[in-house]
Amino acid sequence: MTDTGLAPALAFDRTGEGEPLLLLHGTGSSRGVWKPVIPLLARERDVIALDLPGHGDSPVVTGIEHSPSGYAPVVAETLEHLGLGNVDIAGNSMGAWTGLEPAKLGRARSVVALGPAGLWPKHSPWSARSTLWLLHHAPPAPPVLLRSPLGRKALLSRIYGRPERVPPEEAIEAAAVMRSTRGYGEHLRQTTRSRFTGGQDIDVPVTIAYGDRERLVPKRARGADELPAHTRWVTLPGCGHVPTWDDPELVAKTVLEGTRAGQ
Q: CB neighbours of 83 closer than 8 A, spacing ≥ 6?
A: none
Largest CA distance in the chain: 49
Q: How far apart are the first and last CA of the chain?
A: 26
Q: Which residues on neighbouring strands pair with residue 92, listed in sequence order? A: 114
> Which contiguous run of DSSP H or E holds residue 68?
helix 68-81
pLDDT for 262 equals: 55
Quick one: average pLDDT of 15-43?
97
Quick one: average pLDDT of 176-193?
94
* CB of 41 closer than 8 Å to CB of 164: no
Q: Which residues on neighbouring strands pair with residue 19, listed in sequence order? A: 45
pLDDT band at 105 (very low <50, low <70, confident <90, very high): confident
SS3 70: helix
pLDDT at 95 > cutoff 50: yes
Per the document, the length of the chain is 263
Question: Is 148 exposed, middle or buried, given 0-12, 13-18 or 19+ CB atoms closer than 10 A?
Answer: middle
pLDDT at 43 > cutoff 70: yes
Q: Which residues on neighbouring strands pair with residue 208, listed in sequence order? A: 113, 233
Instruction: Give the domains, in start order, of the chain with CATH numbers.
Output: 7-260 (3.40.50.1820)
Measured CA to CA, the distance from residue 126 to residue 166 in angstroms comes to 26
pLDDT at 4 > cutoff 70: no
pLDDT for 35 equals: 98
Please report, for the chain, how many H helices and E strands are present, in that order: 9, 7
> Which contiguous run of DSSP H or E holds residue 172?
helix 168-180
What is the average pLDDT score of the chain?
A: 93
pLDDT at 260 > cutoff 90: no
pTM of the model: 0.94
